[in-house]
A = this chain, B = another copy of it.
């Protein structure tokens, strides 16, 4: 069923990694996913690949190209990417449109609406959905958010509600 092929955990920053600084600002801290996994102690091999450390509103297409090249260079066919929620669909779309070289990989984006540093947060749950999805799905690019797993292109963030939902394409 779940062949325990090694998973690459690629981190880019985003809300999941936000911490509160001594100066009263939010900043991007160490990748929270690593601390979460140290608690879960998965029995599938995981390697960490920190690539960016940014609020996703600040991620540029140059950053996306860097991410693309780093993911392409990974030997893994299973890749979980933690990313800020505001442009998660944009980065996923970038990988899809630039990424025939990624065609043999299952890539699952996830993140959080509330930082992992909070007492109450969706970070751990979301990372869990991404870990199951990356092991169960065929190659492709997906988003694991709001308790669901969406294929790239079929999902949108409802900013008012802070939830990821199906992208409904209006019919003509």
Contact = CB atoms under 8 A, between A and B. Distances in A.
Given A2-B150, A37-B147, A148-B43, A132 B122 contact: no
A75 interface: no
Protomer copies: 4
Interface stretch (A62-70, A88-96, A97-105, A111-119): A111-119
Contacts of A43: 146-148, 163-165
A59 interface: no
Given A1-B154, A136-B137, 12 more contacts: A20-B26, A22-B162, A23-B159, A36-B125, A39-B122, A40-B147, A41-B122, A41-B162, A42-B148, A43-B163, A44-B148, A128-B147
